[in-house]
Structure 1
Amino acid sequence: MLKKSSKKPLFQRFKISYLAMLVALILLAISALPNLYPAKSWLHVTAQQQVNAELLAIDTQKSVVDFLNQHGFTVEQSMQSSQQQSSLNVLLHEPTKSAAAQQALKSEFTQLNVKIVTHQTSPDWLQSLGLAPIKLGLDLNGGVLFVLDVDLVKAQQEQLDSAYEQTKTIIRDEKARGVRVQQNAQGFELHALPAAKDQLLTVQTQVLKRFQRLAPTVHTQGKLTTVAFSFSEQGSSEFTKEVMSQTLTTLRGRIEELGITEAVTQRQGKQRIRIELPGVQDPAAAKRIIGATASLDFHQLKEYGGKSFALQNGGTISLDPIAIFSGQHINNAHAGRDEWGKPLVQLSLDSQGGEAMSAFSKRNIGKPMATVYSEYYKNDQGKVVKKSEVINVANIAQHLSSQFSITNMQSPQAAQDLALLLRAGSLTAPVTIVQEQTIGPSLGADNINNGLAALMLGMGITLAFMALWYRRLGLVANIALLLNLTALVGLMSLLPGVVLTLPGIAGLVLTIGMAVDTNVIIFERIKEERRKGRAPYQAIEQGYKQAFSTIFDANITTMITAVILYGIGYGPVKGFAITLALGLITSVFTGVYVSKALSQTVYLKLANKRGVNA
C-alpha cells in the first residue's frame, strides 16, 4: 500500500502541463464569450450637407420615429448622437426589416442620409481586447452573392490596342520613315522596305522594351519585311494571372470602401470571381459599385492626328490617344463641392502620376486638358463594348502637382461613386455579373435556429449516452466534449478569415461525433487494461498511450480531406472544411490531453481518499 505523500511527485510532474492546458482553455473561452452578444443593425440618420444639421435634432427626429412606427417598422430604441444632436440612431424591433425601413425613409425624407450600421453589443472590456463574434456566412446572416466573369480576351485586346497606339507614337518620335504599322486579327504588325531596315529594328526594339509580353514574328514577302506582334504563350499566361490578381485586389478595395468587413472574395475557376457579402441589406448599391468597370484617364487635346471622343453633354472632341496618366496613379479621391456649391472630386496622385502632371502642366499652362471616363457595358447583341466619354475639359490655370480637382460633376452621388471607384482602383478588364443571389436576413435567422437545434439535439443525446454507458469516465468525456465545443467556437472567433456557414454548423455536429469516437476508443482500451488486472491509474495511462496512434492516424486522414475541400471548394463547402479542420485540432486537444488530465486527476484523488494502490 502506498502512502499519500508518494503521490506528490506525480502531481509535480504534470503541474506545468495541466497549467498550460488550463490557460489555453481559459483564453479560448474568453474569445468565445462575444458570441453570447449578437450584433444589432441600427439605422443611422443624418442630414445632408445643404441642410442645417440642427434642423434634424429639432424638427425631424420625432417625424422619423413616428413615420417608422406608422408604417409597420416598430422602433425599439432611438437615441441622438452626442455630437450636437446632428444624427439619430434607430433600432427596430425586427432588425431584419432595416433595409425596407431604409428605403422607406429615403423616399419620404429626401433631405436625409440613411445608412445601416452594425453595432456590437458585447461588454466594452471584450471589445477593448479586440474580440468579436464569429463571422457568419450568407446562409446564416443573409446578404448577397455575386459571381463575376472577367473578360480576359477583351483585356488582351485592350493591351494590344494600347501597344498599337504607342507604336504609332514611337514611329513618329523616331522619325522612322518607310515604316508603317497596321492592326491584324492577332495584334498588329510593322511593314518596312529594305531601305528602312535599321529604322524597323529601332522601332521593334522600343516596342519590345515597353511591352515585354509580346513576341515578334518576322517574315519577308518580296522586298517587304513584316514583323507581327502578338502575345506569346508565356506572356498570355502571365498577363492572365496579373489581370485576375489586379481584379481581385480592386474588388476587395471597393468592398472595403463600402464598409463591408466580412466579405469573401475569391477566384472561381479560370476567369470567374466569387463575392459573398454577408449582412448586406442594400444589394443595389453593392451591385452598382462592385460591377462598375469605370476607369479614368487624362488626355491632351490634339486637333490633328488625334482620336475622336464623345463629350458627356453631346458632340465630339479630338484627343491624343495616349493618356498623360491614368487612374492607376491616383492614391486618394474625395467628393466635395467648389465655391459655387457644385460637386467635384479632389484627387491625390502618387509620385509617378505627380511627376507626369507636373511636367505636362508646366509646359501647357493656359491650354486645355480633358478627363476621359470609360466603362464597359453589354450592347443589344450581348457583346462587351467599351464606352468612353469626356466628362471634363478645363484649362490649366497654373503649374499643377500631385493634387487637383475634377469639376462639373453631374450630381453629388456621381461624385461620390467616382471618388469611391478611384480610391479602390479601376479594373483593367471588363467584368460581368453572371450570377446574383440575395438571401434575406429572416431566412438566415431560420437557418441559425434550425442549425443550433440540430446541434443541441445531437449533443444532448451524445452526453446522455456517454454518461449512462461509461459512468464516471463518461462524465469526464462529457466535460471534455463541452470544453471542445467552447474551444472550437473560441478558436473560430479568434482566427481572422473564418466564416461560419450552415454546412459549418454541420461540421460542428460532426466534430462532436468525432470527439466522442476518440473517447470511445480510449475508454475501450482502458477497459481492456482493467480486465488484464491493471490498477485504474495504470489502465488509464496505458489506454491513452495505446489509443493515441489510432486516433492520430484517423484525424490525419480526415485533416487531409479537410485541406483538399478548403483548397478546391467555394462558399459553404469551404466553410464546412474550415470547421472540420479546426474541430479536429480541438477534438485531439480536449479528447486526448484534457480528458487524460481529468481522468488521471479523478482516479488519483479517489485512490488517495481510499488509501489504495492506484
Structure 2
Amino acid sequence: MLNKYYWWQYILIVLFIIIGIIYSLPNIYRDIPIIKIKILKKNFSKVKILANLKKELNSNQIQYKKFFINKNNIFIIFNDVVNQLQAYEIIKENSHKKYTVIVKLISSIPKWLLFLKAKPIKLGLDLRGGIYFLLKINNNYIFQKLREQNIEDLKLILKDKKISFNLNKSHYFNYKIFFKNNIIRNKVFNFLKKNNNNFVNYTMINNGLLITMKNKWFLELKKSIIENNIDVLRKRVNQIGISDSIVQRKGINNIIIELPGIQNLSEAKEIIGSTATLEFHLVNNNINNIQNKNFSYYIWNNKIPLFLNKKIIIDGSNIIHSNISRDEYNQPQVNIFLDKKGGDILSKFSEKHIGDNIATVLVNYINSNKKDIKGNIIQNKKEEIINVATIQSKLNNSFKITGLKNIKEAKKLSILLRSGSLSAPIQIIEEQNIGPSIGQENIKQGIKACIIGILICIIFMIFYYRIFGIIAIIALFINLIFTMSFLSLLPGATLTMSGIAGIVLTLAIAIDANVLINERIKEELNNKISIQKAIDYGYKGAFSSIFDANITTLITSCVLYSLGSREIQGFAITTFIGILTSMFTSIIITRAIVNIIYGGKKIKKLPIQ
C-alpha cells in the first residue's frame, strides 16, 4: 500500500526522537557559579568569617544568591559568573591567610541524566569566556643543546686520538671544526663517516669539516618537540583542574591553548608559560678548582658564592611524580619521586659522594628585548639555586626539596614537575582574555538568530504549504534537537559563534528540502494523478535532488574541517551534523507524519494546493 510504513519503522523513529530529546536536555540546565572557602585552621570562627564575607560583598554591591556552611567550608552561590569573579577578587584580597578561595561551576543536571552519560555541549571561548594563548616553541634551544652534546662527543674522540682543533659555532645546530692541515682533516673525516651517528652530515671544507644536521632527522626532531610540548602542556592544564580545555598544534612551531571559564590571566600564564625544570648538580668544595672550566659560578640566597659542576646528575625528565607537604618546622617542601633510570643514577652517584653537597637548580627561560636574525625573541636562561643539601647516605628514587619561600611556590613547583619538562622553551606571543559577559551576549545573539530564522521559516511554510508547512516545521524542531544531541555526544566537539552560524544554515537547508518535496507533490497533482501517488512520487522524485545537493555540501564541510582554522572547523562540524540530521528529518520524519495523516485514506483535496 502506498504511503505506509511498517509498525517497527514508526517505533524506530519515535525511539530516535526520544534519545535525541534525552541527550539534548542537559543543554537547558546551566552551571551554578559558586565560591568555596576552605578555612585553614579549626580555631577560626566560621560564623564570624561568614558575617565578614557578607559585609564585604554587600559593601561592594555584589549580588549573591545564598551562603551555607558544610563541615570546614563556606559556600557562596551566585546567579552569574560576573558577580562570582568580582566576589573572588575581593575575598581573595582579604583572606589574610585564614582561608583559601576556590572558584567553581557546579552542574545542575539531574542525576538520571548524568547516569545516562548525557552532557551539555562544550562551549568555546567566544560563548563561555576564558583565556586564549598562542605559544611559539623555541627550537633553537634544543638544537644548540644537541650541538653541545655532539661537540662534547667529538672532543672526546679527537682528544683520544691526540688531534688538536679549533671550533667555530653558528647560531643554530651547524658548526665548523678546523685542523692544522687537510691530511688530518681527511683522516678525521674518514673515521667520522665510518662511525656516523646517523643524524649529522660531514662536509669537507679547507682544513676543516662542516657539521650539519640531516634534514630528515631535523624534521623528525621538530615534530617530536612539538608533540612532547603539547603533551606536557595538556598535563599542566589538567593539573590545575581546567575542564573542556583545548591544547593543539597550529602551524609548524605554534601551539594554541584555550581555557574556557578561566578569567585569572596572570595565574594561567604562570603555569602555562613557565619553562621551569630542575637540575641537580654537585657542589665543588675544593677552592683550588674554581678556575676549572667544568664548574659554573652561582650566588645562593643572594650572599653565598657556590661553584657547581656543569655536569647534570639528573633533571626534570627523570621525575615521575611530586607532591607537597610540610617538614618538622611546618615549612613547605616538595616530595620528588624518580623513574627507575633516575633512581639508579642518583643511587650510584650518592653512594660515591657521601659527605658532598648537592644543589637543586631551578632553570627557567625569560624573554629578552632582543631578537635573532629570523625575528624571534631571544630567551635568556635564568638559573636559581633553591636548595643545597649534604648527602648523608645512599639515596634512592625519592627525596625531598626544602628551602622554598612559601606554600604557593611549593605548589607551583610541584605542578610543573608533575606535568613534566618541556622539550624546548616556549614563549607566549598572543593572549586574549574574553570576559564571561561577552560570552553570554554572544549566546543571546546566537539564540536570537536561530529564533528569527525559525520564525521566518514558520511564516513562509504555513503561508505556502498549510498542513504540509506545519509538518515541515515539526521536522525542523526535531532536526534542531538531533543536532544539539549529536554535538553533546560527539567527543571534542565545541560550539562557537561560527558553529551557531552553521546550525542556522542547516535549518535553512532542511526547509529547502521540504520546499522541494512539497513543490514536487504539487507538480504531480497538477498532472491529474491520484493524491496517494502524488505524495509517493513527490517524495521519490525530490530525493535525488536533495541527496545530490546535500552530498556536495557534506564534501565541502569535510574540506573546510580538514584545512580550516578552529573557527572554520566549528562551522564545518555543525554544518556536517546538521546536513545529516536534516536529510533524516526532511525525508523520513515528514514522510512518517504525512503517512499517519493521509496514508491509505481517500482524500478529495490535499491541503497543499
TM-score (norm 1): 0.88
- The offset of 1:227, in angstroms, is 4.3
**Residue aligning to 2:107:** 120
Q: Write the letter of the residue equivalent to 2:294.
A: G
- Which of 233, 248, 258 is 1:251 aligned to? 233
- Which of 140, 155, 178 is 2:163 aligned to? 178
- The offset of 1:569, in angstroms, is 2.9
- Which of 349, 363, 367 is 1:360 aligned to? 349
Q: Write the letter of the residue equivalent to 1:213.
A: F
Task: Tell me how far apart the structure 2 counterparts of residues 366 and 609 of structure 1 sit (CA, whole Å).
Answer: 106
Task: Tell me how far apart the structure 2 counterparts of residues 135 and 324 of structure 1 sit (CA, whole Å).
Answer: 45
Task: Tell me how far apart the structure 1 counterparts of residues 238 and 475 of structure 2 sit (CA, whole Å).
Answer: 40
- Work out the percentage of aligned pairs sharing the same amino acid: 32
Q: 1:183 to 1:340 in 2, by over 3 A?
A: farther
- Which of 65, 75, 81 is 1:89 aligned to? 75
Is 1:313 the counterpart of 2:311? The answer is no
Q: 1:110 to 1:560 in 2, by over 3 A?
A: farther
**Residue aligning to 1:242:** 224
Is 1:41 the counterpart of 2:33? The answer is yes
Contact 1:308 1:316 in 2 (8 A): no
Task: Tell me how far apart the structure 2 counterparts of residues 253 and 246 of structure 1 sit (CA, whole Å).
Answer: 11
Q: Give CA deviations for 1:351-398 in whole Å, capped at 9, x if unaligned.
A: 222222223223333322222211111224353212223222212223
Secondary structure of residue in 1 paired with 2:392: coil
Is 1:496 the counterpart of 2:491? The answer is yes
Contact 2:325 2:332 in 1 (8 A): yes
- The offset of 1:218, in angstroms, is 4.2
Range moving further from structure 2, 157-166 or 441-450: 157-166
- Which of 586, 590, 604 is 2:599 aligned to? 604
Task: Tell me how far apart the structure 2 counterparts of residues 605 and 36 of structure 1 sit (CA, whole Å).
Answer: 40
Contact 2:201 2:212 in 1 (8 A): yes
Task: Tell me how far apart the structure 2 counterparts of residues 269 and 116 of structure 1 sit (CA, whole Å).
Answer: 34
Task: Tell me how far apart the structure 1 counterparts of residues 9 and 560 of structure 2 sit (CA, whole Å).
Answer: 34
Contact 1:77 1:92 in 2 (8 A): yes
Q: Write the letter of the residue equivalent to 2:10.
A: Y
**Residue aligning to 1:386:** 381
Is 1:370 the counterpart of 2:359? The answer is yes
Is 1:16 the counterpart of 2:3? The answer is no
Secondary structure of residue in 1 paired with 2:346: helix
Contact 2:333 2:400 in 1 (8 A): yes
Task: Tell me how far apart the structure 2 counterparts of residues 437 and 457 of structure 1 sit (CA, whole Å).
Answer: 31
| Unaligned 5+ runs, structure 2 | 372-377
Is 1:294 the counterpart of 2:276? The answer is yes
Q: Write the letter of the residue equivalent to 2:597.
A: V
Contact 1:65 1:75 in 2 (8 A): no
- The offset of 1:56, in angstroms, is 5.2
**Residue aligning to 1:532:** 527
Task: Tell me how far apart the structure 1 counterparts of residues 149 and 383 of structure 2 sit (CA, whole Å).
Answer: 15
Contact 1:69 1:75 in 2 (8 A): no
- The offset of 1:450, in angstroms, is 1.8
Task: Tell me how far apart the structure 2 counterparts of residues 602 and 390 of structure 1 sit (CA, whole Å).
Answer: 82
Q: Give CA deviations for 1:514-534 in whole Å, capped at 9, x if unaligned.
A: 110111112222222233344
Task: Tell me how far apart the structure 2 counterparts of residues 199 and 324 of structure 1 sit (CA, whole Å).
Answer: 31
- The offset of 1:261, in angstroms, is 1.2
Task: Tell me how far apart the structure 1 counterparts of residues 166 and 311 of structure 2 sit (CA, whole Å).
Answer: 16
Q: Give CA deviations for 1:17-51 in whole Å, capped at 9, x if unaligned.
A: 33333322221211110111111221111124xxx
| Unaligned 5+ runs, structure 1 | 1-5
Contact 1:176 1:200 in 2 (8 A): no
**Residue aligning to 1:347:** 336
**Residue aligning to 1:579:** 574
Contact 1:536 1:603 in 2 (8 A): no
Range moving further from structure 2, 442-451 or 54-63: 54-63
Range moving further from structure 2, 284-293 or 570-579: 570-579
Q: Write the letter of the residue equivalent to 1:144.
A: I
- The offset of 1:202, in angstroms, is 7.1
Contact 2:64 2:83 in 1 (8 A): no
Q: Give CA deviations for 1:325-350 in whole Å, capped at 9, x if unaligned.
A: 22122111112221211111111222
Contact 1:179 1:196 in 2 (8 A): no
Range moving further from structure 2, 512-521 or 372-381: 372-381
Q: Write the letter of the residue equivalent to 2:125.
A: L
Q: Give CA deviations for 1:387-420 in whole Å, capped at 9, x if unaligned.
A: 2232222122232222212111122111111111
- The offset of 1:80, in angstroms, is 2.0
- Which of 411, 426, 437 is 1:431 aligned to? 426
Secondary structure of residue in 1 paired with 2:334: strand
- The offset of 1:579, in angstroms, is 1.4
TM-score (norm 2): 0.89
Aligned alpha-carbon RMSD (Å):
2.8
- The offset of 1:71, in angstroms, is 1.5
**Residue aligning to 1:63:** 52
Task: Tell me how far apart the structure 2 counterparts of residues 268 and 24 of structure 1 sit (CA, whole Å).
Answer: 38
Task: Tell me how far apart the structure 2 counterparts of residues 196 and 324 of structure 1 sit (CA, whole Å).
Answer: 35
Secondary structure of residue in 1 paired with 2:320: strand
Q: Give CA deviations for 1:120-148 in whole Å, capped at 9, x if unaligned.
A: 01111112223221111111111111112
Task: Tell me how far apart the structure 1 counterparts of residues 251 and 501 of structure 2 sit (CA, whole Å).
Answer: 26
Q: Write the letter of the residue equivalent to 1:331.
A: I
Contact 2:531 2:603 in 1 (8 A): no
Range moving further from structure 2, 36-45 or 549-558: 549-558
Is 1:105 the counterpart of 2:91? The answer is yes
Range moving further from structure 2, 488-497 or 69-78: 69-78
Task: Tell me how far apart the structure 1 counterparts of residues 531 and 542 of structure 2 sit (CA, whole Å).
Answer: 16
Task: Tell me how far apart the structure 2 counterparts of residues 547 and 495 of structure 1 sit (CA, whole Å).
Answer: 31
Contact 2:298 2:308 in 1 (8 A): no
Contact 2:354 2:392 in 1 (8 A): yes
* 1:324-339 mapped onto 2 (5 Å cutoff): 324-339=313-328
Contact 2:189 2:204 in 1 (8 A): no
Task: Tell me how far apart the structure 2 counterparts of residues 69 and 565 of structure 1 sit (CA, whole Å).
Answer: 50
* 1:557-572 mapped onto 2 (5 Å cutoff): 557-572=552-567
Task: Tell me how far apart the structure 2 counterparts of residues 166 and 552 of structure 1 sit (CA, whole Å).
Answer: 65
Q: Give CA deviations for 1:40-94 in whole Å, capped at 9, x if unaligned.
A: 221111124xxx135253431222223212221122122222xxx2111111244
- Which of 101, 122, 125 is 1:138 aligned to? 125
Q: 1:471 to 1:14 in 2, by over 3 A?
A: same
Q: 1:459 to 1:312 in 2, by over 3 A?
A: farther
- The offset of 1:178, in angstroms, is 2.5
**Residue aligning to 1:26:** 18
Secondary structure of residue in 2 paired with 1:427: coil
Range moving further from structure 2, 512-521 or 248-257: 248-257
Q: Write the letter of the residue equivalent to 2:392.
A: A
Contact 1:56 1:87 in 2 (8 A): no
Task: Tell me how far apart the structure 2 counterparts of residues 397 and 348 of structure 1 sit (CA, whole Å).
Answer: 18
Task: Tell me how far apart the structure 2 counterparts of residues 492 and 255 of structure 1 sit (CA, whole Å).
Answer: 23
- The offset of 1:309, in angstroms, is 4.6
**Residue aligning to 2:374:** none
Is 1:278 the counterpart of 2:266? The answer is no
Contact 2:33 2:80 in 1 (8 A): no
**Residue aligning to 1:457:** 452
Task: Tell me how far apart the structure 1 counterparts of residues 328 and 264 of structure 2 sit (CA, whole Å).
Answer: 33
Q: 1:151 to 1:195 in 2, by over 3 A?
A: closer
**Residue aligning to 1:3:** none
- The offset of 1:259, in angstroms, is 1.2
Task: Tell me how far apart the structure 2 counterparts of residues 470 and 419 of structure 1 sit (CA, whole Å).
Answer: 67
Q: Write the letter of the residue equivalent to 2:240.
A: L
Count matched residues.
Answer: 587
Task: Tell me how far apart the structure 2 counterparts of residues 195 and 565 of structure 1 sit (CA, whole Å).
Answer: 58
Task: Tell me how far apart the structure 2 counterparts of residues 357 and 501 of structure 1 sit (CA, whole Å).
Answer: 50
Q: Write the letter of the residue equivalent to 2:104.
A: V
- Which of 183, 202, 205 is 1:216 aligned to? 202
Range moving further from structure 2, 130-139 or 27-36: 130-139
Secondary structure of residue in 2 paired with 1:381: strand
Task: Tell me how far apart the structure 2 counterparts of residues 109 and 279 of structure 1 sit (CA, whole Å).
Answer: 23
Q: 1:514 to 1:445 in 2, by over 3 A?
A: same
